[in-house]
């Protein structure tokens, strides 16, 4: 299976799906160990929620949440041949994380912090570059109705990538930003047409796990949408999307092991 699984580790009190579960340093370490044991290729650690309505925090508070467990998680992951990503839009947090050995910066703001690109350009770190219309997400600020969401994304990525390339940053993975500046229908359209983003010639990451786009499928508004998330993940894997960012890695490992059997079968 060429699709890499990014396991989400939110060291936050207010993330939309698992806020508060791993805020304690020991709990964060235990969950990182769980992710490693359940098939992740990358652990994506975030200490600030970017959900709709989230309250932004200071650099000091974000680092205070990360520092107790970050180095231990990196050491544990690297020993298991697993990479680590930091989900942050603050350049100083990215710099500190790079200094202790992270492999990726996952910037959902699209490098809004002007110092972010400079810091990444001076490192060997890879960048997840996510399309957005503002962070935290705002349900009232979405792509124009009637516009082609894929066209909007491609034009945005072209401008951002050109600016980053000028600084020498080429290790970029593009993320369409499901749920960020898109309503449910636009998010579904992007996933259905995700192959068109391959024209940009950069690896693609999709973060669809437990997102609000699944509400239109289930009037009961399930708390986790595990089946729905996994179904989309399988479709993305079959489309050879390089990265998916998910919560339930054990569920995905089981399913991907089955898909690998089909890939390797000579029958």
Number of domains in the chain: 1
Place of tokens 């932004």: 56
Contact 64, 108 (CB under 8 A): no
pLDDT per residue, tens digit, the chain (267 aa), is: 689 999 999 888 744 444 445 556 688 899 999 999 998 999 999 989 876 666 788 999 999 999 989 999 999 999 999 999 999 999 999 999 999 999 999 998 999 898 999 999 999 999 999 999 987 777 889 999 999 999 999 999 999 999 999 999 999 999 999 989 999 999 999 999 999 999 999 999 999 999 889 988 876 666 678 999 999 999 999 999 999 999 999 999 999 999 888 866 554
Contact 56, 49 (CB under 8 A): no
Contact 40, 5 (CB under 8 A): yes
Place of tokens 């579960």: 21
Contact 75, 40 (CB under 8 A): no
Query: In the numeric block, which tokens belong to residue 111?
Result: 């490098």
Contact 17, 212 (CB under 8 A): no
Please state the φ and ψ torsions of residue 19, each to the nearest 5 degrees: -55, 130
CATH of the domain at 143: 3.20.20.20
d(CA 259, CA 52): 34
Instruction: Indicate the SS3 state at residue 185.
Output: helix
Range of the domain at 252: 4-264
d(CA 41, CA 52): 28
- With residue 44 as reference, give the H or E element that holds it: strand 42-46
d(CA 48, CA 108): 11
Query: In the numeric block, which tokens belong to residue 144?
Result: 């124009």
């Amino acid at each position: 299976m060429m699709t890499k699984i990014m396991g989400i580790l939110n060291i936050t009190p207010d993330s939309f799906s698992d806020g508060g579960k791993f805020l304690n340093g020991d709990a964060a370490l235990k969950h990182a160990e769980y992710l490693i044991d359940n098939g992740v290729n990358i652990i994506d650690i975030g200490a600030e929620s970017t959900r709709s309505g989230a309250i932004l925090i200071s650099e000091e508070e974000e680092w205070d949440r990360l520092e107790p467990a970050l180095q231990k998680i990196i050491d544990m992951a690297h020993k298991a041949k697993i990479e680590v990503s930091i989900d942050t839009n603050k350049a100083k947090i990215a710099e500190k994380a790079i200094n202790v050995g992270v492999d990726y910066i996952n910037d959902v703001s699209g490098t809004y912090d002007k110092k972010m690109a400079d810091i990444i350009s001076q490192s060997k770190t890879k960048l997840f570059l996510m399309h957005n219309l503002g962070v935290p997400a705002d349900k009232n600020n979405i792509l124009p109705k009637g516009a082609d969401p894929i066209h909007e994304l491609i034009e945005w990525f072209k401008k951002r990538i050109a600016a980053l390339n000028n600084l020498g940053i080429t290790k970029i993975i593009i993320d369409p930003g499901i749920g960020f500046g898109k309503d449910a229908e636009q998010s579904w359209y992007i996933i259905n047409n995700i192959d068109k983003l391959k024209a940009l010639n950069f690896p693609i990451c999709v973060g669809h796990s437990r997102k609000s786009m699944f509400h239109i499928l289930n009037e009961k508004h399930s708390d986790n949408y595990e089946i729905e998330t996994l179904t989309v993940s399988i479709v993305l894997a079959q489309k050879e999307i390089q990265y998916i960012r998910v919560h339930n890695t054990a569920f995905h490992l089981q399913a991907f092991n089955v898909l690998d059997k089909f890939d390797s079968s000579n029958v």
